[in-house]
Structure 1
Amino acid sequence: MSAIEALPRFACPDWWEKLQAGEVPIADVPVNEAKAARVLAFFNRLRLPDVPGNPPMSEACGDWFKTILVVFFASEDPETHRELVWELLCMVPKKNSKSTYVAALGLTALYMEEAPNRQMLLVGPSQNISERCFDQAQGMINLDDKLKLIFKVQEHLKTVTRRKTGSKLEVKTFDTSIVTGEIPVLTIIDELHELGKKAKAAKVMQQIRGGGITKVRGKVLMITTQSDEMPTGIWKSELKKARAIRDGKAGPAPIMLPVLYEFPEEFQRNEKYWRDRDNWHLVLPNLGLSIDEQALEDDYENNGKVSKEAEQIWASQHLNIEIGVGLGGDAWSGAVHWEPAAAGWITLDRLLGESEVCTIGVDWGGADDLAALAVLGRRARDKVWLLWVRAWARETVFKSRPQIADALRGFEEDGDLRVVSSPELQAAEAAEICDRVRLAGRLPEAGGIGLDAAGIALLLDALEEMGMVSPLVQAVQQGWKLQTAISTVPLKLESRRMLHADQPIMNWAVGNAKQELKGSNYMVTKQASGAAKIDPLMAAFDAAMLMFNNPQAAPPIGDFLANPIMVI
Structure 2
Amino acid sequence: MKWKETGFNKYREAFVFVPRKNGKSFLCSVFANYLLIADKGQHDLFTYAVNAQQARLVFDGAKQMIVQNKALKKRSKVMAHHIDHTKTNSRLKPVSSNSGGNEGLGGTAIGDELHTHPDSSMFDVMQLSMAARRKAWHFIITTAGTNTTSFCKQYYDQCKTIESESTFTAIYELDDEKEIEQPETWIKANPNLGISVYSEEIADTLEKARTIPHRYSEVLTKRFNIWRNGEQEFIAEKDWLACYKPKECKPSNELPVFIGIDLSSASDISAVWCVQGTGASGEVRIWGKCYLPSSALERGKKNSEIYQQWVRQGHLTVAGDRTVDYEHIERDIHSLCDQYDVHSVSFDPWNSNFLLTRLESHGVPVEKVRQGFISLSPPTKALQVAVMQEKVIHDNNPILNWAVGNVTLSTDAAANIKPDKMKSENKIDPVAALLNGYRTWMLETESGELSDEVLTVNW
1:290 is matched with which residue: 185, 190, 196? 196
> What is aligned with 2:161?
244
Question: CA 1:76–1:525 in structure 2 vs 1: closer, same or farther (change >3 Å)?
Answer: same
Separation (CA, whole Å) in 2 of partners of 1:192 and 1:242 = 14
In structure 2, distance between residues paired with 1:450 and 1:274: 41
Amino acid at match of 1:146: A
Amino acid of the residue matched to residue 181 of structure 2? Answer: R
Give the structure 2 partner of residue 194 of structure 1. Answer: 116
Structure 2 Cα separation of the partners of residues 371 and 275 of structure 1: 47
Partner of 1:510: none
* 1:92 CA displacement: 0.4
Which runs of 5 or more structure 1 residues have no equivalent in the other structure? Answer: 1-74, 334-364, 374-426, 463-513, 541-568
Counterparts in 2 of 1:455 and 1:223: CA distance versus 1, 3 Å: farther
Of 167, 172, 175, the match for 1:261:
172
Task: Please state how far the C-alpha of 1:215 moved relative to its aligned partner.
Answer: 5.2
Alpha-carbon distance in structure 1 between the residues aligned to 2:78 and 2:168: 31
Match among 55, 65, 78 for residue 153 of structure 1:
78
Partner in structure 1 of residue 129 of structure 2? 211
Q: Does 1:103 align with 2:9?
A: no
Amino acid at match of 2:142: T
Secondary structure of the 1:460 match is coil
2:45 to 117, 120, 129: 120
Q: CA deviation at 1:114?
A: 3.7
Alignment of 1:519-558 (within 5 A): 523-526=401-404, 529=407, 531-533=418-420, 537-538=425-426
One-letter code aligned to 1:311: Y
TM-score (norm 1): 0.44
Is the 2:214–2:231 Cα contact (8 Å) retained in structure 1?
no
Q: Which amino acid aligns with 1:537?
A: E
Q: Is the 8 A contact 1:110 1:168 kept in 2?
A: yes
Answer yes or no: is the 8 Å Cα contact 1:526–1:533 preserved in 2.
no
Other-structure match for 1:305: 210
Is the partner of 1:208 in helix, strand or coil?
helix
Map Cα deviations across residues 359-414 of structure 1 (whole Å, 9 max, x no partner).
Answer: xxxxxx747x99989xxxxxxxxxxxxxxxxxxxxxxxxxxxxxxxxxxxxxxxxx
Choose from 77, 87, 90 the match for 1:164.
Answer: 87
Matched residue SS, 1:300: helix
Looking at structure 1, the residues matched to 231 and 268 of structure 2 have their Cα atoms a distance apart, in angstroms, of 23
Matched ranges for 1:43-62 at <5 A: none
> Using a 3 Å threshold, how does the CA distance of structure 1 residues 320 and 308 change in structure 2: closer, same or farther?
same
In structure 2, the residue corresponding to 1:111 is in which secondary structure? helix
**What letter corresponds to residue 255 of structure 1 in structure 2?**
S
- Go from structure 1 to structure 2 and tell me whether the alpha carbon gap of 1:218 and 1:316 turns closer, same or farther (over 3 Å shift): same
**Residue aligning to 1:548:** none
AA partner of residue 70 (structure 2)? D
Question: Is the 2:49–2:95 contact (alpha carbons within 8 Å) kept by the matching residues of 1?
Answer: yes
SS of equivalent to 2:117: helix
The secondary structure found in structure 1 opposite 2:125 is helix
Greater radius of gyration (CA): 2
Q: What's the secondary structure of 2:226's corresponding residue?
A: coil
| Shift, 1:319, TM fit | 0.7
Report the Cα offset of residue 257 of structure 1.
Answer: 2.5
Equivalent pair of 2:111/2:141 in contact (CA under 8 Å): yes
Aligned residue identity for 2:153: K
Give me the whole-angstrom Cα distance separating, in 1, the residues matched to 2:10 and 2:187.
30
- 1:127 and 1:330 map into 2 onto residues whose CA distance is 34
Report deviation, 1:195: 0.9
Identity of aligned residues (%): 17
Q: Which secondary structure state, in structure 2, belongs to the residue aligned with residue 237 of structure 1?
A: helix
Distance in 2 (CA, whole Å) between partners of 1:257 and 1:455 is 59
Contact 1:125-1:174 at 8 Å conserved across structures: yes
Secondary structure at 2:323 match in 1: helix
CA distance in 2, matches of 1:210, 1:310: 37
Instruction: Rate the CA distance shift 1:84–1:134 in 2: closer, same or farther, 3 A.
Output: closer
Gap change, CA 1:128 and 1:181, over 3 Å in 2 = closer
Cα distance between partner residues in 1 of 2:229 and 2:20: 19
Equivalent residue pairs, number: 298
1:318 maps to 2:244: no
CA contact (8 A) 2:266 2:324 kept: no
Take 1:135 and 1:211, find their aligned partners in 2: how far apart are those partners? 22
CA offsets 1:480-502 (integer angstroms, 9 cap, x no match): xxxxxxxxxxxxxxxxxxxxxxx
Deviation at 1:528, TM superposition (A): 7.2
Structure 1 residue 93: Cα displacement: 0.6
Aligned position for 1:278? 184
Q: Kindly tell me: are residues 134 and 78 of structure 1, through their superposed partners in 2, closer, same or farther at Cα, counting changes over 3 Å?
A: closer
Task: Give secondary structure in 2 for the equivalent of 1:538.
Answer: coil
How far off its partner does 1:448 sit?
7.8
Which of residues 3, 11, 31 is equivalent to 1:85? 11
1:270-419 correspondence to structure 2 within 5 Å: 270=178, 273-302=179-208, 304-324=209-229, 366=263
| 291 and 449 in structure 1: CA distance in 2 versus 1, 3 angstrom threshold | closer
In the alignment, the residues of structure 2 paired with residue 315 and residue 238 of structure 1 have an alpha-carbon distance, to the nearest angstrom, of: 20
What runs of 5+ residues in structure 2 fail to find an aligned partner? 239-261, 270-291, 311-315, 326-383, 389-393, 410-417, 429-459
C-alpha distance after superposition, 1:77-119 (max 9, x if no partner)? 4555553311111110111111122112111111244434x42
Per the TM alignment, residue 285 of structure 1 is displaced from its structure 2 partner at its CA by: 0.4
CA RMSD of aligned residues (A): 4.5
| Cα distance in 1 between the residues matched to 2:56 and 2:318 | 45
When residues 104 and 330 of structure 1 are mapped into structure 2, their CA distance, relative to the original with a 3 A threshold, is same
How many angstroms apart in 2 are the aligned matches of 1:261 and 1:312?
A: 18
Q: Check 1:178–1:102 CA distance in 2 against 1; reply closer, same or farther (3 A cut).
A: farther
CA distance in 2, matches of 1:448, 1:527: 18
Q: Name the CA shift for 1:279/1:96 in 2 (closer, same or farther; >3 Å).
A: same
Secondary structure in structure 2 of the residue aligned to 1:115: coil
Q: Does 1:460 align with 2:323?
A: yes
Judged with a 3 Å threshold, the aligned counterparts in structure 2 of structure 1 residues 523 and 449 are, in CA distance, closer, same or farther, namely closer
The one-character-per-residue Cα deviations of 1:261-285 (angstroms, maximum 9, x if unpaired) are 1123xx12x3xx3222222122110
CA contact (8 A) 1:122 1:169 kept: yes
Shift in Å, 1:532? 3.1
Paired amino acid for 1:138: K
CA distance in 1, matches of 2:113, 2:35: 19
